[in-house]
Amino acid sequence: MLTYKGYQGIVAYDEEAHIFHGEVINTRDVITFQGTTVKQLEKAFRDSVDDYLEFCEVRGEDPDKPFSGTLSLRVAPDLHRALHLRAKQTGKSLNSLIEEALRQAITPLTSAR
């Protein structure tokens, strides 16, 4: 995993083209990069992030920042009530209860890596 200015990139290798290609994964915008060596790939990653930030500045737009950890969630009122009650029963905040449930939901995905 590559990291630069808070942006994270993942990399794959294309055997047919003999090239590394990557994508920034912690934004909604598409930022890609490629190179034939690790050194080229790392430079292309940094250059792509810098180009993206410069492009946004020229256009007067705010760049899509890496995920902040804030998630707006809509659920049915009865589920909201049940979650609130469960949080109170367990002595947790509603946020902590939901975060714990979400972590458990992705555990099989992250432990498979």
Q: What is the pLDDT of residues 19-76, one digit of tens each?
A: 999 999 998 899 999 999 999 999 999 999 999 999 999 999 999 887 777 888 899 9
Number of domain units in the chain: 2
pLDDT, position 13: 94
Do 38 and 83 belong together in one domain? no
Report the 3 state secondary structure along 68-99.
Answer: CCCCCCCCCHHHHHHHHHHHHHHCCCHHHHHH
Owning domain of residue 15? 2-59
Q: Under a CB-based contact definition with an 8 Å cutoff, are residues 35 and 43 in contact?
A: yes
Q: Is the pTM of this model over 0.75?
A: no
Residue 29 forms part of a structural domain: yes
Q: How many CB atoms lie within 10 A of CB 19?
A: 15
pLDDT, position 113: 56
Residue 104 forms part of a structural domain: yes
b/e map 29-48, b = 16+ CB within 10 Å: eebebbbeeeeebbebbbeb
Q: Locate tokens 């915008």: which residue?
A: 29
